Amino acid sequence: MGDTGAVLTELNVYPLKSGGGTPLRAAELTSTGLRFDREFMLTTPEGRFLSQRDHARMALMRPTYDGEQLAVAVEGLETLFHKPVDDGPVVDVTVQRAECQGVDQGDAAAEWFGAFLGVEARLVRFTGHRPTSRGGGETAFADGYPLLLISEESLDDLNGRLDTPLPMNRFRPNLVVRGLGAFGEDSVRRLRVGDVEIELVKSCARCVITTTDQESGERGREPLRTLARYRTIDRGIRFGQNGVPRTVGPLAVGDPVEILEATEGAR
């Protein structure tokens, strides 16, 4: 417990769910995760969320958002510049099996995304409140939790077992830490990053998105095939830990990471 010598090495925000990540040097941690994370989402006309699970091409989208304008770039296409709509229809939507609400962002954005994906799609912006299923937190359009943390050594361990090493972006973390050791995050319950406190509440079960090259959109068999051999826990392939903010404030790459509480039975 205490000072581990660990440091925060990456911060990533995903303003558009299932789009590419935006690496940051500094970010504001709010009660729902990094500011602007998963604030926007694509849905079917019926309100079901769209994901890289079914549409690998979504990996090619490069969204950025500064709080005033959402820009979505795709190589070979004219960039979408969208000013968020606050007074559009509030619609019921689902993320996984959770029901929540979003503000529909209008027909022009829907037409751009529909043309790119080849399916009907509506862009919505999160509104309201959505509690996490565990840990007493809240989130926007993330699958289940506001934060995902992974240690660099966990990826090093995996890459040592693969014929072709994979980048961290396959796992789409918000926070990357160096110094916890391979899967050291599994043994942490509470930690302090800089001046904010985070509780790790549930290991992350991985899906087919991890097999999607985030640069090309092409899909393969790794890393799930290899991870299944040694990281199948409670009927899921686990990699990384979902977290809930316990305090809020600024974060920056290079912040020290201090373990405040280990999980029961941790060495």
DSSP 132-191: -SSSS-B-SSSSS-SEEEEEHHHHHHHHTTSSS---GGGG--SEEEESS-TTGGGGEEEE
Q: Are residues 119 and 178 in the same domain?
A: no
Three-class secondary structure of residue 29 per DSSP: strand
Each residue's pLDDT tens digit, 210-227: 999 999 999 999 999 999
Q: Are residues 161 and 253 in the same domain?
A: yes
Cα–Cα distances in angstroms (integers) from residue 245 to residues 24, 30, 133, 146, 186, in the given order:
18, 7, 14, 8, 17
Asked if the model's pLDDT at residue 1 lies above 80, the reply is no
Asked if the model's pLDDT at residue 266 lies above 80, the reply is no
Q: Are residues 166 and 111 in the same domain?
A: no
Each residue's pLDDT tens digit, 225-247: 999 999 999 999 999 999 999 99
* 223 falls within a domain: yes
Q: Are residues 121 and 151 in the same domain?
A: no
Q: Which of 127, 155, 185 is the last residue of a domain?
A: 127
Q: Which of 127, 162, 189 is the last residue of a domain?
A: 127
* 31 falls within a domain: no
| Contact predicate 227/205, CB 8 Å | no
* 24 falls within a domain: no
Asked if the model's pLDDT at residue 20 lies above 60, the reply is yes
Place of tokens 């280990």: 262
Each residue's pLDDT tens digit, 129-156: 999 989 999 999 999 999 999 999 999 9
Counted domains in the chain: 2
How far is Cα 2 from Cα 9, in angstroms, rounded to an integer? Answer: 19
pTM (predicted TM-score)? 0.96
* 20 falls within a domain: no
Q: How high is the mean pLDDT of the chain?
A: 96
Q: Are residues 52 and 91 in the same domain?
A: yes
Task: Domain of residue 85: give its range.
Answer: 40-127
Asked if the model's pLDDT at residue 265 lies above 60, the reply is no
pLDDT of residue 2: 57
Q: Are residues 72 and 175 in the same domain?
A: no
- Which residues, at least 6 apart from 247, have a Cβ–Cβ distance to it below 8 Å? 195, 196, 197
Each residue's pLDDT tens digit, 158-213: 999 999 999 999 999 999 999 999 999 999 999 999 999 999 999 999 999 999 99
- Write out the H or E segment, with its range, that includes residue 241: strand 236-245
Q: Are residues 169 and 109 in the same domain?
A: no
Q: Which of 127, 152, 183 is the last residue of a domain?
A: 127
Going by pLDDT thresholds of 50, 70 and 90, the confidence category of residue 3 is low
pLDDT of residue 186: 97
Each residue's pLDDT tens digit, 50-80: 999 999 999 999 999 999 999 999 999 999 9
CATH code, domain with 214: 2.40.33.20
* 237 falls within a domain: yes
